[in-house]
């Protein structure tokens, strides 16, 4: 088999290959013979089905498998002989390939190549800290939130829904008298207004509501609402209470027992530490994003066109699926997806550019993804989903997601490396 590679762009190449007719024919016939050895067909002893019969029943499938075999061989030889750094390749439509008996088989397909990146400065970048101290009021609020989360619900009865209570309810959005959206069985609270409503008006309307009652609140349809013609227009949110509850919080003593602390001072210390940890995690993420933005701004390089197109299509596909689940009409889905194509492409390009930069920095700094890293990630996923490790491994194998897992681990390593090697400056 002859294989040649033609560079068609900075990140693109075409692999051309030719298989001599006798080589293709011989491989095809051997595949038929091997299939015959394992075939079980009525009227024939197992393993003794004639090749002609095998070809009649399975010839199309085996011919496609033979073509796929040579495509794979051409790909592997092209990568090895030309040291190609392939990040994706064009799928070959086997149904479109026609091969005449005894003639040479020639074909070509495109591959996407990893761009050549000359790394500029990425260590020691300056970022101004926005980390804020934990305030006493935040601690008090956090303790109250914990109490609320641990509260036991009790039917509100004739007193109706209290300000700090919760209810199971049906929520409707109305435009005039027309029901635009309905969600039943939702948990609602007077302190958590639904989108487009005024917080004070929402609290006032729901407080005191009893089982079976409906309360209406003026609203404005959100700017990102699926029905474009209603965006920013006035409407009504109708809450129909199925069951109103008051919430009985645990006592201070019960809360301390729950959290394993001896007294109020220890409770506040624990809460302060947790809040400080959460703020630090949030700040770490923000700093990493700032550094990545700085690096992206000074690194310009070509991107594989096929990869950009695939990622853009995938993003638009997710958007369409979300709109479909939201009940958007089919014609509106296509219209809105077309309007978002440029934004989807820009997001895809940024994500791909960041990915290649992360990989280049990771290689430069020898930030490898080890077997231990992968095992720890699988264990963490299993714990988060209350699943067995074996179940997670099976799922990731079936979905071919282990490469994606490795990329995500590498990204976290590189982001942490960049942050730890940055100059974090206290604000003036």
* Residues making up the chain, counted from first to last: 428
Domain 2-113 in this protein, CATH class: alpha beta
| Separation in Å, CA 47 to CA 67, 233, 383 | 24, 73, 49
Domain spans in the chain, listed from the N-terminal domain onward: 2-113, 152-248, 258-425
pLDDT computed for residue 229 by the predictor: 86
Given a cut of 70, the residues of the chain with pLDDT beneath it are 94
pLDDT computed for residue 366 by the predictor: 95
CA–centroid distance for 414 within its chain = 19
pLDDT computed for residue 324 by the predictor: 82
pLDDT computed for residue 41 by the predictor: 74
Neighbours of 131 (CB within 10 A): 15
Q: Does domain 258-425 bear CATH number 1.10.3120.10?
A: yes
List, in sequence order, every residue forming a beta bridge with 127; answer none if it has no partner. 424
Cβ pair 194, 171 in contact under 8 A: yes
CA dist., res. 129 & res. 426, Å (int): 5
- Which CATH number is associated with domain 152-248? 3.10.50.40
- Tokens, residue 324: 């479909």
CA dist., res. 373 & res. 379, Å (int): 10
178-188 and 214-220 strand pairing: unpaired
pLDDT computed for residue 55 by the predictor: 84
CA dist., res. 348 & res. 355, Å (int): 11
pLDDT computed for residue 9 by the predictor: 86
CA dist., res. 106 & res. 3, Å (int): 10
Q: What angle do CA 268, 274, 280 make, to 5 degrees?
A: 130
């Amino acid at each position: 088999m002859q294989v040649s590679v033609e560079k068609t762009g900075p990140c693109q190449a075409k692999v051309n290959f030719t298989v001599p007719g006798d080589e293709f024919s011989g491989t095809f016939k051997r595949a038929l013979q091997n299939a015959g050895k394992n075939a079980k067909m009525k009227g024939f002893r197992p393993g003794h089905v004639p090749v002609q019969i095998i070809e009649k029943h399975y010839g199309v499938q085996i011919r496609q498998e033979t073509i796929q075999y040579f495509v794979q061989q051409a790909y592997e030889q092209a990568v090895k002989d030309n040291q190609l750094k392939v990040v994706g390749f064009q799928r070959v439509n086997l149904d479109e390939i026609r091969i005449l008996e005894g003639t040479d088989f020639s074909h070509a397909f495109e591959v996407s190549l990893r761009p050549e990146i000359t790394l500029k400065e990425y260590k020691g970048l300056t970022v101004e800290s926005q980390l804020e101290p934990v305030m006493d009021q935040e601690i008090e609020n956090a303790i109250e939130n914990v109490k609320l989360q641990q509260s036991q619900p009790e039917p509100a009865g004739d007193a109706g829904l209290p300000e700090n209570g919760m209810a199971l309810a049906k929520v409707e959005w109305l435009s005039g008298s027309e029901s635009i959206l309905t969600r039943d069985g939702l948990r609602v609270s007077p302190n958590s207004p639904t989108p487009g409503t005024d917080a004070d008006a929402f609290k006032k309307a729901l407080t005191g509501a009893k089982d079976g009652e409906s309360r209406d609140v003026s609203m404005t349809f959100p700017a990102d609402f699926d029905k474009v013609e209603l965006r920013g227009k006035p409407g009504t949110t109708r809450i129909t209470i199925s069951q109103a509850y008051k919430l009985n919080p645990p006592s201070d003593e019960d809360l301390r027992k729950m959290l394993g602390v001896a007294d109020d001072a220890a409770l506040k210390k624990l809460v302060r530490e947790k809040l400080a940890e959460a703020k630090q995690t949030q700040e770490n993420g923000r700093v990493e994003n700032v550094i990545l933005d700085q690096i992206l701004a000074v690194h310009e390089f070509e991107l594989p066109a096929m990869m950009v197109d695939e990622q853009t299509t995938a993003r638009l596909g997710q958007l369409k699926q979300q709109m479909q689940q939201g009940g958007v009409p089919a014609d509106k889905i296509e219209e809105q997806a077309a309007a978002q194509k440029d934004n989807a492409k820009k997001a895809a390009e940024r994500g791909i550019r960041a990915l290649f930069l992360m990989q280049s920095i990771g290689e430069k700094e020898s930030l490898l993804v080890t077997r231990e890293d992968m095992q720890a990630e699988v264990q963490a996923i299993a714990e988060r989903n209350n699943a067995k490790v074996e179940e997670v491994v099976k799922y990731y194998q079936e979905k071919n997601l282990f490469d994606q897992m490795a990329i995500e681990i590498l990204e976290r390593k590189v982001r942490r490396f960049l942050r730890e090697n940055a100059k974090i400056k206290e604000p003036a």
